[in-house]
Amino acid sequence: MSVARRSTVAGGTFSGGGLSHTCHVGCSAIVAGLGHLAVHQKDRTFSYVHVPDTHPPWHIPPLTRSFNLGRRGDSSGLDLQRLPEADDPDRQGRQLYLLRLHEVDRLLGGLFEYIGRTMKDDTLVVLTADHGTPWHHLRENRPADEPYLVDDRTATSLQMSGPGIPQRRHDGLTSPNVDLMPTVLARAGLAVPDDLDGQDLLSRTYRRDHVISESLYDGVYEIAVRDGKRTYIEKYRLDEERIKLVGAPIYRGLFPCGTPDFTHSLSESPGTLADLAHSHIRKVGLLGS
């Protein structure tokens, strides 16, 4: 028997056509979205649904009642200090995560079923995420200086369905967060601005030789460059008021892509990966004056 009762996700946002609805009960946001789609079936609209609560639930029962399902605000419930007190926290945490994922799947499934039944011939559906979900805090051999931009955290997928969308799968280097806008604009028949960094994922000429990820958090700037074989990561102290880097890197690491272990860096030179990282840092103006 599950230690957690089933409930809807604790947060949701829907926006579309001048309507904005934010609620801490995910099903309410989905209902608002369904109502909006029903009213505007024949209109050209852009609708957005955000359901955030597939974040890892670190509050493990019985440390908190109902693992904070009714909370408002941060969806991660991070409580690492008391996590060791829980009975088998890894399995419990994964169970709660799967329960939440089931609820999100059920809610979005209802939305997608309605679209498929009433407007599938003129509706483009895009499903993606802002970041991945690593369970790095529960690993036994996690180094204290482990990078933030590990593969599990940066790996996201982007799925599309609708008229004119080909049956195609791309498993090479992609950057869904950056490529989302030009891809959607192209499907809508709108011009893609020249200054966008992203590319149309469905273009026959789509290609990336490397991808760059960045993090600015708690006074530290981190950059990761991946070429499909290796991942090179640097960390710098960050002046958060000026948004400028302070001094030399405080961390450098080179790892095989896909590794679950960031304990030991490869001894070989990062080569062009380091050059790409430094070029990007100069391009975005992070170097201090």
In a domain, 51, yes or no: yes
In a domain, 5, yes or no: no
- If we measure between CA atoms, which residue out of 172, 176, 224, 171 comes closest to residue 198? 176
Q: Identify the pLDDT of residue 57.
A: 53
Domain boundary among the residues 123, 148, 183 is at 123
Computed over every residue of the chain, the mean pLDDT equals: 79
pLDDT (mean) for 158-166: 92
Q: How many CB atoms lie within 10 A of CB 201?
A: 19
The pLDDT confidence band at residue 11, using thresholds 50, 70 and 90, is very low
Q: Which residue has the higher pLDDT, 65 or 15?
A: 15
Q: Which residue has the higher pLDDT, 241 or 95?
A: 241
Chain centroid offset of residue 262 CA: 21
Q: Residue-wise over 82-105: b if at least 16 C-beta within 10 A, else e?
A: ebeebeebeebbebbbebbeebbe
Q: Identify the pLDDT of residue 59.
A: 55
Q: Is pLDDT of 240 > 70? A: yes
**53-94 residue pLDDT tens:** 566 555 555 444 344 444 443 344 445 566 667 677 667 667
CB of 265 within 8 A of CB of 255?
A: yes
In a domain, 137, yes or no: no
Query: Which structural domain range is residue 99 located in?
Result: 12-123
Query: How many domains are contained in the chain?
Result: 2
**210-223 residue pLDDT tens:** 999 999 988 999 99
Q: Which two tokens stand for residue 72?
A: 């408002």
Domain boundary among the residues 102, 123, 144 is at 123
Q: Identify the pLDDT of residue 210.
A: 96
Q: Is pLDDT of 10 > 50? A: no
Sheet strand arrangement including 19-23? 19-23, 12-16, 47-50
Query: Phi-psi category of 85—alpha, beta or left, where left has phi over 0 and alpha has psi -120 to 50?
Result: alpha
Q: Identify the pLDDT of residue 270.
A: 97
In a domain, 173, yes or no: no
Q: Identify the pLDDT of residue 34.
A: 87
Domain boundary among the residues 97, 123, 149 is at 123
**190-204 residue pLDDT tens:** 998 988 889 999 998
In a domain, 172, yes or no: no
Strand intervals (E) in 93-229: 125-128, 158-161, 211-217, 220-226
**Residue 17, amino acid:** G
If asked whether residues 116 and 217 sit together in one domain, one would say no
Q: To the nearest whole percent, how much of the chain has pLDDT over 70?
A: 73
* Predicted model pTM: 0.78
In a domain, 163, yes or no: no
In a domain, 141, yes or no: no
Q: Identify the pLDDT of residue 84.
A: 65
> Residue 113, SS3?
helix
